[in-house]
């Protein structure tokens, strides 16, 4: 059944696949009066665009976006905003050979089982290209967030066995622009890039961790008991292709902590704050005004050129495949744009849900 919409008030419906005609999104529930241009969306799409460095796929897409509706004289008018990106540089030929041989680590087998008839070219709608829809929605969400001075930044904190050192919040944005890995620890970034290139050469790939930070989120976002802010963030991040884990604040470390260590004590500093931020800005599913911290574990790109064992679904026998095509040896750098977009969408939705932004007009 349907499953391509996210959000309860600020709603994003996305469409399109890797090798189809176009990809895009319809954003419904954006209040009227928000300044918005194609350029605002293009800027975000450019962050996830392929082919911008040595460590990404060489597929040559400009990913040029065109807004079709919902904007009047430079401002949103409260009606649905449809935006489209046409596919240009498709090379479907390599996928014909893989048609009945599901690629390990990919969704091919699951899609075949579920839909019978499906677009297997380049992963079809299971492709990372579908996150173009996320980023379109996220670009508009970010514009909404900006009206409340809320900022969302995602950066890479681990690639394989290389962990980045912690970097001051105010330097992260600046540092990640300086390297292709989008890692704020510039020394680690060098090693990460080397590792990625090394594995690329070997026909292999590697995973990592992406951390998303949201600053200036007001206290009070999140709807108990099922639509909690952390529940919604966990859902959207886990839903990004290749993500296998999500944690908030101290995350998995909390499992090893004592209450006396984990609890963030409150104090007055004009407003109410906590000294530590083990909670990652969310308590009981509701934001507490501290920086919101979410990390996601990204698995290594399943498309590797090494020979792999699989099955032939037609003959129902074991076989082997070698995947050709153009792939990212590590998707972490590009997926930061998707993480930012996803978290921004959730926050924008909750800002309206909780009355911080008027649902009809700014």
Shortest separation between residue 229's beta carbon and its own copies, angstroms = 9
Q: How crowded is residue 77: how many other Cβ atoms within 10 Å of its Cβ?
A: 18
Place of tokens 């959207």: 236
Q: Say how far apart CA 227 and CA 95 lie, in whole Å.
A: 40
CB 142 within 8 A of CB 169: no
CB 253 within 8 A of CB 295: no
Shortest separation between residue 25's beta carbon and its own copies, angstroms = 9
Closest CB to its own copies among residues 8, 146: 8
Closest CB to its own copies among residues 138, 170: 138
Cα dist from 4 to 24, 133, 232, 249, 355, whole Å: 11, 10, 15, 28, 25
Q: Say how far apart CA 24 and CA 131 lie, in whole Å.
A: 9
Q: How crowded is residue 89: how many other Cβ atoms within 10 Å of its Cβ?
A: 12
Shortest separation between residue 29's beta carbon and its own copies, angstroms = 3
Closest CB to its own copies among residues 174, 203: 203
Shortest separation between residue 135's beta carbon and its own copies, angstroms = 13
Closest CB to its own copies among residues 54, 275: 275
Closest CB to its own copies among residues 93, 113: 113
Closest CB to its own copies among residues 9, 190: 9
Shortest separation between residue 44's beta carbon and its own copies, angstroms = 18
Shortest separation between residue 81's beta carbon and its own copies, angstroms = 7
Q: Say how far apart CA 310 and CA 315 lie, in whole Å.
A: 12
Q: Say how far apart CA 206 and CA 160 lie, in whole Å.
A: 6
CB 51 within 8 A of CB 328: no
In Å, the largest CA–CA distance within the chain is: 70
Shortest separation between residue 242's beta carbon and its own copies, angstroms = 8
Q: Say how far apart CA 103 and CA 97 lie, in whole Å.
A: 11
Q: How crowded is residue 142: how many other Cβ atoms within 10 Å of its Cβ?
A: 24
Closest CB to its own copies among residues 174, 216: 216
């Amino acid at each position: 059944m349907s499953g391509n919409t996210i959000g309860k008030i600020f709603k994003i419906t996305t469409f399109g696949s890797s090798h189809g005609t176009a990809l895009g999104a319809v954003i419904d529930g954006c209040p009227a009066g928000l300044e918005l241009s194609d350029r605002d969306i293009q800027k975000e799409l450019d962050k996830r665009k392929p082919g911008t460095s040595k460590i990404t796929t060489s597929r040559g897409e400009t990913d040029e976006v065109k807004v079709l509706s919902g904007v009047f004289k430079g401002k949103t008018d409260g009606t649905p905003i449809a935006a489209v990106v046409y596919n240009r540089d498709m090379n479907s030929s390599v996928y014909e050979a893989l048609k009945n041989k599901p690629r390990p680590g990919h969704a091919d087998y699951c899609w075949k089982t579920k839909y019978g008839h499906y677009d297997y070219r380049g992963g079809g709608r299971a492709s990372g290209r579908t996150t173009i829809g996320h980023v379109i929605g996220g670009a508009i969400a970010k514009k909404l967030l900006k009206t409340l001075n809320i900022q969302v930044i995602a950066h890479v904190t681990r690639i394989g066995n290389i962990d980045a050192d912690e970097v001051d919040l105010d330097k992260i944005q600046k540092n990640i622009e300086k390297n292709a890995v989008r890692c704020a620890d510039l020394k680690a970034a060098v090693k990460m890039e080397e590792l990625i290139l090394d594995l690329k050469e070997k026909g292999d790939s590697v995973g990592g961790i992406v951390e998303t930070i949201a600053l200036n989120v007001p206290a009070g976002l999140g709807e108990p008991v099922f639509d909690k802010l952390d529940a919604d963030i966990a859902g959207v991040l886990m839903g990004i292709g290749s993500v296998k884990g999500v944690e908030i604040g101290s995350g998995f470390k909390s499992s090893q902590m004592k209450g006396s260590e984990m609890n963030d004590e409150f104090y007055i500093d004009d407003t109410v704050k906590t000294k530590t931020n083990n909670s990652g800005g969310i308590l009981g599913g509701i934001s507490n005004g501290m920086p919101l911290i979410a990390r996601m574990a990204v698995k290594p790109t399943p498309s590797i050129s090494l020979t792999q064992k699989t099955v032939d679904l037609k003959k129902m026998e074991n076989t082997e495949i070698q995947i050709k095509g153009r792939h990212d040896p590590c998707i972490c750098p590009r997926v930061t744009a998707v993480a930012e977009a996803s978290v921004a969408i959730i926050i924008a939705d909750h800002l309206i849900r909780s009355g911080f932004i008027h649902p009809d007009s700014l």
